[in-house]
Amino acid sequence: MTNAESANEAEDWRVYRGTGLPADPAAVSLPSPPPWREFDGEGPVTRPDDDGGDGSRRIGRLRAQPRVADQQEVAMVNAAIHLRRPLLVTGRPGTGKSSLAYLVATELGLGPVLKWPISSRSTLKDGLYLYDAIGRVQAAGAHLAERTNIGDYIRLGPLGTALLPFEKPRVLLIDELDKSDIDLPNDLLNVFEDGEYEIAELVRLAKQQPEVTVLTHDRGGSATVKDGRVRPNAFPIVILTSNGEREFPPAFLRRCLRLEMRPPTFEQLGLMVAAQFGDTDGLDIRLIIDQFLERSERVGGLASDQLLNAVHLAARLATSGAYQTDDDWKDLLEAIWHPLSSLESE
């Protein structure tokens, strides 16, 4: 066996390559989970295919060349897929932590990303499901018998939807977990470990109504829940992001894999611009990226979308013939590329 053949064989474990190019879903074969991460939910539940353009907004729709991925990113995403463990992605704002979920879903053909943006008021139940008890009582009081089915007033959250028994795992993005209340990471532990949850309002009705169709987090989605219990066929691919504003409990970290996202390189930024804008004739993209990286270094880090904002404006000015790399343009760049923290290091 040649060295090249050995290298190819060693790479066979990678189902995710980080290219940003959508694969043929029929050709994607996900690895079996470890025995202790196998689940037996009854299904499958139908997964939607249309994400409403979320993926193209995040990673671009004009990608002509493969994205250049960091090898540590590729390795850790694949490890999370093989082990069916959540991946905690840390790094400064604008390094592409959230976009990683859309890259995984697009490349592996896993459908729309289920996104749960976290705030200081977020609770575990918000992520699992919401029950509109008041709406149901009001409908019953108005004698709207045809609208008082309890399933019409239960909507699964992004985490609750991800744990439905889909044929293939969904991608769940839990965004900015470090903004959460101190208890939320610990509250997630049992769900991450057990891979299931109960809907208390349906458990109480299980003998009279063992099957109830509820709404899901997907647009227009619904699913049948049996005996008030939700359990997956395959544990979802969970990507949690954190800007590093707080530490998480050791018990929580033990159940996660960890990835530190590095700032994108010149080449990666160039491919990102090409994926969003395609042809940029009339613009010196290399100059704009060089200026962006210099400014980012000077102020302690900029977000990638700040570069896209500048390119978009430059393209608009170039169309009208007003694009000039003069002092006015440099002043505009200074304003667009404002520091992400209150302290600018000059």
Single-letter amino acid code for the residue at 265? T
Q: What is the pLDDT of residue 185?
A: 95
Joined tokens for residue 123: 């609770």
Backbone phi, then psi, for 156, in 5-degree steps? -70, 140
**Widest pairwise Cα distance in the chain:** 76
Task: Tell me if 239 sits within 8 A of 172, measured CB to CB.
Answer: yes
Backbone phi, then psi, for 26, in 5-degree steps? -70, -20
Task: Tell me if 114 sits within 8 A of 172, measured CB to CB.
Answer: yes
Q: How far apart are CA 171 and CA 109, in angstroms?
A: 10
Joined tokens for residue 163: 């744990």
The candidate with the shortest Cα–Cα distance to 83, out of 24, 26, 22, 13, is 13
Is the CATH number of domain 3-260 1.10.300.10?
no
Task: Tell me if 224 sits within 8 A of 41, measured CB to CB.
Answer: no
Q: How far apart are CA 323 and CA 326, in angstroms?
A: 9
For the chain, give every domain's residue range: 3-260, 266-336
Single-letter amino acid code for the residue at 29? S
Q: What is the pLDDT of residue 52?
A: 85
The torsion defined by the Cα of 283, 289, 295 and 296, in degrees rounded to 10, comes to 150
Q: What is the pLDDT of residue 72?
A: 95
Asked whether the whole model's pTM tops 0.95, one would answer no
Burial class of residue 71 in the structure, from the number of CB atoms within 10 Å of its CB (0-12 exposed, 13-18 middle, 19+ buried): exposed
Backbone phi, then psi, for 214, in 5-degree steps? -120, 165
Q: What is the pLDDT of residue 147?
A: 57
Would residue 263 be called left, alpha or beta, if left means φ above 0 and alpha means ψ between -120 and 50 degrees?
beta
Question: Taking the chain (346 residues) in consecutive chunks of 10 residues, what is each chunk's mean pLDDT?
Answer: 50 86 80 93 87 86 81 96 96 90 94 96 96 84 67 96 96 96 94 94 94 95 96 96 90 94 91 86 87 90 91 85 77 88 48
Q: What is the pLDDT of residue 142?
A: 65
Q: What is the pLDDT of residue 110?
A: 93
Q: Which residues of 294-331 are buried (b: 16+ CB within 10 A; e: fewer)?
A: ebbeebebbbbebbbebbeebbebeeeeebeeeeebee
Q: Specify the pairing of strand 171-175 against strand 237-242.
A: parallel
- SS3 labels along 112-143: CCEEEECCCCCCHHHHHEEECHHHHHHHHHCC
Give residue for tokens 């962006």: 292
